[in-house]
Structure 1
Amino acid sequence: PVYVEMPGWKTSTVGLTQYKELPENARAYLKRIEELLGVPLDLISTGPERAQTIVLKHPFD
């Protein structure tokens, strides 16, 4: 495994439902995950509730 250190973020992301609401460093982190996995993210969970989800692309479209 390769250890990569990335900047964090100081604001809570709990309950956010829009990608643009995420802190810049959180968006950079998610982009890096996509790059490492080689697949796009469709959903991002921001809490335990079903409504606490950011839908980037509906998985059944």
Structure 2
Amino acid sequence: MSRLNDYVENHENLDKLNVILKHYGVSAEFVAHTLSEGFEQDKELPKELIEDMKQFCAML
């Protein structure tokens, strides 16, 4: 159950972060590029996630 609570809490925090980014007019391109750079440095993340972020950046 605690893992489920973590998912819900993380989702709520992401919603709050999204509101802040929208308020300041931060572009999706900037966010995606910044996340991609950060994700590449984290060796514990799945390679699929990193590839998906790269593809998303290319679409923008």
Please tell me the TM-score bracket, short chain as reference.
0.3 to 0.5
TM, length-normalised to structure 2: 0.33
Over alpha carbons, which structure has the higher Rg? Answer: 2
Which is helix-richer, 1 or 2? 2
| Greater per-residue strand proportion | 1
Q: TM-score if structure 1 supplies the norm length?
A: 0.33
